[in-house]
Structure 1
Amino acid sequence: MAPKKTPKGKSGLFGVRQKPSGNFGVEFSEAGRRWWIDTYPSAHEAARAYDVAVWRAERPRSHLNFPEIESQAEAEMLVPQGINMKEIPTKKKTTKKPSVVVCAGETDEEAMARFSWEHPEYVQAELEYYWKREAEQKKGPKKEDEAGPSTVIPIESSSEEDWADFSEEEEEGCDDPEKEVLWAQFCSSDDEE
Structure 2
Amino acid sequence: MAPKGKSGFFGVRQMPSCNWGVEFSDAGRRCWIDTYPSAHEAARAYDVAVWRVERPQEHLNFPEIESRVVAEMLVPHGIKMKAITTKKKTTKKPSVVVNADEIDEEAMARFAREHPEYVQAELEHYWKREAEQKKKEDKAGPSTVIPIKSSSDEDWADFSEKDDEEGCDDPEKEEFSEQFRSSDDEE
For this structure pair, what is the TM-score category when the shorter chain's length is used for normalisation?
0.3 to 0.5
Query: What's the TM-score once normalised by structure 1's chain length?
Result: 0.46
Query: What's the TM-score once normalised by structure 2's chain length?
Result: 0.47
Rg comparison, structure with higher value: 1
